[in-house]
Amino acid sequence: MYSASPPPPRRDFISVTLSPGEAAGAGGYNNSKAWRRRSCWRKWKQLSRLQRSIILFLFAFLAVCGVISYTNMGEQWKSLRKKSSEDQKTEPEIPGLKPANPAVLPEPQKAEANYPELSPQKHSKPLHVRRGPPNLQIRPPRRDARVKARDVAGKTEEEPGQADKEEKTEKSIISWRGAVIEPDQSTEPPSSIIKEPEKPSSVEVEDQKEPVPINERQMAVIEAFRHAWKGYKAFAWGHDELKPLSKSYSEWFGLGLTLIDALDTMWILGLKEEFEEAKKWVATDLLLDKNVDVNLFESTIRILGGLLSAYHLSGDSLFLEKAKDIGSRLMPAFNTPSKIPYSDVNIGRGTAHPPRWTSDSTVAEVTSIQLEFRELSHLTGDKKFQKAVDAVMKHVHSLSGKNDGLVPMFINTNSGQFTHLGVYTLGARADSYYEYLLKQWIQGGKKENELLEDYMRAIEGVKKHLLRTSQPKKLTFVGELAHGHFSAKMDHLVCFLPGTLALGAHNGLTADHMELAKALIETCYQMYAQVETGLSPEIVHFNLHAQKDRKDVEIKPADRHNLLRPETVESLFYLYRFTGDKKYQDWGWEILQNFNKYTRVPSGGYTSINNVQNPSNPEPRDKMESFFLGETLKYMFLLFSDDVDLINLDKYVFNTEAHPLPIWAPA
């Protein structure tokens, strides 16, 4: 069977007709713009709606990015041009020209944890400074070019052209008075300064001096402070005192005593980051309208004094506003028949009362609040604060019952008379009365002669009734007198006296005060050196008679605790500042090392101890007093400094909690 034959192949033909014009290129493809536009449009129409939407979105996104980039580049270019024009306008330095408002203390910068090698900064041109708060001119910080470019609007004015000079030393350490730190990338200026009072005192005009770099011992103090602050921040933030061993806190008034006590210490040490943290707490969490009883004396020297000092050093009016608030809330204490204030005040209710067990107040407490309230009147123009505390001093000045200028320890708030007559001490309950006699006289410009007379008479009374010499090293010490019987007992608190005597001698009082100060500070040092841990007990008794194998210092079991007190370090600071004798720095260094050895808690903080005679077990008490940060470490840092202008003692007077307040200049 045969298959059918295949069909013949099919042929297809296409007919194309070319017109003469197209053949000549008039209508065909000729790479013209019109042809390309028609071709692109034809391809665009061939795309789906989704494809066209994606392409349009990408084009829009790129356009927005381009606009943003252009704007940023324009702003940078504008700022560079502005900076260049400012540099060209820098005024030439005029030889011998002094700044109108010289600096006293700079704004602190953040101190780095890893301390760099120290190197002094080259002397720079005098800077134009802004007005500081009343009684203090604040030095504007010197910043490198990078920080200057990032400063926000409203910062402290700086001298134009300074960036060129600082750019060359960008990697070097910045050194101000009392602080050497790495350049900081962000700084925040103090809040706007409040209006000056009618009669502000002013700091004397002086040449700006070569900054003094921080030394290794000061670095060790900064490290100790940071360690203590770490524990407080972690376990007791916003509370009164740290309990470092139990990693908790104790509350006294509920007003953040440690934090407020440490404000000016952080400023002086240059710890800006910690200072700013604490300032934010003061602004938002320091609530004074609360139903709580506070001790007039303690809240005045720690809270009011700390806030006033922080205001003067930083220039931030926040601290002055808080100081006015707490000062006003303490005023009900003076509503007594005798005008001798009660010991306790309820700052929420506006009521005051004596202790529950007596109607007496201690003499030290009612006569050691004057520096703070007087300064509050000086700043605010409200005389009620100074009037109240001056009345107390005038009343005590007129009282009988003194013994050659020495005062008893108690005074009755109803009668206004001394009680428990015949007992005289420079220790607890009387100590700071003598300190504030001298310091009020200095604060007021050395015009109030009654204060000076009482102070000079009291020192003569100390020499006559309380001064003795121990055996075998013949240490000069200050004992106590009770109804005519002398006791060779001396509180560690009495070690404020060498510094006070030296301060008086520096201010023109008799030279033998300085000699007595030198003898007493030797005794205070021996109260540390003759003890097994190298730390002083709270109270010592001195041997008056030579006995074989016995030291000058004896310690009773009830007195062998150490509370991290500052009085000896305080006096070492004054003696070194006025004499320049390096042994005082060495003694302070020994004390700091022993604090680190026996009281430092690894998790953060330092603790008071119960037994300074047992190096293997000093029996920690689990409490860090607020004055360890407010006083002890502050005086340590100042002791190790060779810069006399780091809290110049011709311009500042310390309150009894180590808060510096300005000395009033003559009107």
* 3-state secondary structure at position 271: coil
The model's pLDDT over 543-555, given as tens digits with 9 standing for 90+, comes to 999 888 899 999 9
Q: For residue 198, what pLDDT is reported? A: 40
User: Longest Cα pair distance anywhere in the chain, in angstroms?
Assistant: 160
> The tokens 């003795």 sit on which residue?
468
Q: What is the mean pLDDT of the chain?
A: 82
Instruction: Fill in the DSSP letter of residue 630.
Output: I
Counting runs of H as helices and runs of E as strands, what totals does the chain give?
A: 23, 22
User: What integer is the mean pLDDT of 60-85?
Assistant: 67
Percent of the chain with pLDDT over 90: 67
In whole angstroms, give the CA distance from residue 110 to residue 633. 18
What's the one-letter identity of residue 461? G
125 contact partners, CB below 8 Å, separation of at least 6: 93, 159, 162, 165
Q: For residue 203, what pLDDT is reported? A: 42
What are 329's two structure tokens?
């809330």
Say yes or no to pLDDT of 209 above 90.
no
Q: For residue 136, what pLDDT is reported? A: 37
The model's pLDDT over 332-385, given as tens digits with 9 standing for 90+, comes to 999 999 999 999 999 999 999 999 889 999 999 999 999 999 999 999 999 999
Q: For residue 526, what pLDDT is reported? A: 98
pLDDT confidence bin for 70, thresholds 50/70/90:
confident
Q: For residue 138, what pLDDT is reported? A: 38
CA atoms within 13 A on the CB side of 614: 11
Q: What separation in angstroms does the CA of 188 have from each of 97, 141, 154, 276?
A: 30, 11, 10, 9
Of 177, 271, 270, 180, nearest to 232 by C-alpha is 271
Rounded to 5 degrees, φ, ψ at 88 are -70, -20
Beta pairing partners, 653: 661
Of 577, 575, 581, nearest to 647 by C-alpha is 577
In whole angstroms, give the CA distance from residue 141 to residue 134. 19
For residues 180 and 174, the answer to whether their CB atoms sit within 8 Å is yes
Full DSSP string of 191-209: PPPPPPPSS---PPP----
Of 177, 175, 181, nearest to 121 by C-alpha is 175
In whole angstroms, give the CA distance from residue 202 to residue 666. 9
In whole angstroms, give the CA distance from residue 501 to residue 517. 6
The model's pLDDT over 489-524, given as tens digits with 9 standing for 90+, comes to 999 999 999 999 999 999 999 999 999 999 999 999
Q: For residue 55, what pLDDT is reported? A: 85
Q: For residue 278, what pLDDT is reported? A: 98
Pairing of strands 293-295, 248-250: unpaired
Beta pairing partners, 346: 293, 351
User: What integer is the mean pLDDT of 79-99?
Assistant: 43
Q: For residue 205, what pLDDT is reported? A: 37
Of 358, 366, 506, nearest to 436 by C-alpha is 366
In whole angstroms, give the CA distance from residue 483 to residue 10. 147
The model's pLDDT over 407-429, given as tens digits with 9 standing for 90+, comes to 999 999 999 999 999 999 999 99
For residues 268 and 638, the answer to whether their CB atoms sit within 8 Å is yes
For residues 436 and 364, the answer to whether their CB atoms sit within 8 Å is no
Residue 41: exposure state from Cβ atoms within 10 A (0-12, 13-18, ≥19): exposed
pLDDT confidence bin for 316, thresholds 50/70/90:
very high
For residues 371 and 443, the answer to whether their CB atoms sit within 8 Å is yes
Instruction: Please report which helix (H) or strand (E) contains residue 361, including its range.
Output: strand 360-362
The model's pLDDT over 128-159, given as tens digits with 9 standing for 90+, comes to 333 333 333 334 333 343 333 334 333 433 44
In whole angstroms, give the CA distance from residue 571 to residue 523. 12
In whole angstroms, give the CA distance from residue 373 to residue 305. 9
21-35, 63-77, 286-300: least confidently modelled range = 21-35
pLDDT confidence bin for 9, thresholds 50/70/90:
low
Q: What separation in angstroms does the CA of 279 have from each of 257, 285, 317, 647?
A: 13, 10, 11, 21
Q: What separation in angstroms does the CA of 296 have from each of 261, 327, 412, 415?
A: 16, 10, 15, 19
First-to-final CA distance of the chain: 143
Say yes or no to pLDDT of 578 above 70.
yes
> The tokens 């960036």 sit on which residue?
163
| Cis-peptide into 666, omega within 30 deg | no
For residues 196 and 141, the answer to whether their CB atoms sit within 8 Å is no
Length of the chain: 667
Which residues does the annotation mark as catalytic?
298, 431, 538, 567
In whole angstroms, give the CA distance from residue 409 to residue 244. 34
How many CB atoms lie under 10 A from the CB of residue 514?
20
In whole angstroms, give the CA distance from residue 658 to residue 633. 10
What are 23's two structure tokens?
């053949």
| Cis-peptide into 472, omega within 30 deg | yes
In whole angstroms, give the CA distance from residue 236 to residue 7. 107
In whole angstroms, give the CA distance from residue 474 to residue 465. 18
Q: For residue 37, what pLDDT is reported? A: 55
Of 364, 361, 337, 332, nearest to 348 by C-alpha is 332
Say yes or no to pLDDT of 75 above 70.
no
Of 369, 368, 336, nearest to 353 by C-alpha is 336
Instruction: Please report which helix (H) or strand (E) contains residue 394, including its range.
Output: helix 384-398
For residues 386 and 444, the answer to whether their CB atoms sit within 8 Å is no
User: What integer is the mean pLDDT of 383-391?
Assistant: 98
What are 460's two structure tokens?
């003569």
Percent of the chain with pLDDT over 70: 72
The better pLDDT of the pair 50, 561 is held by: 561
The model's pLDDT over 438-477, given as tens digits with 9 standing for 90+, comes to 999 999 999 999 999 999 999 999 999 999 999 999 999 9
In whole angstroms, give the CA distance from residue 506 to residue 499. 10
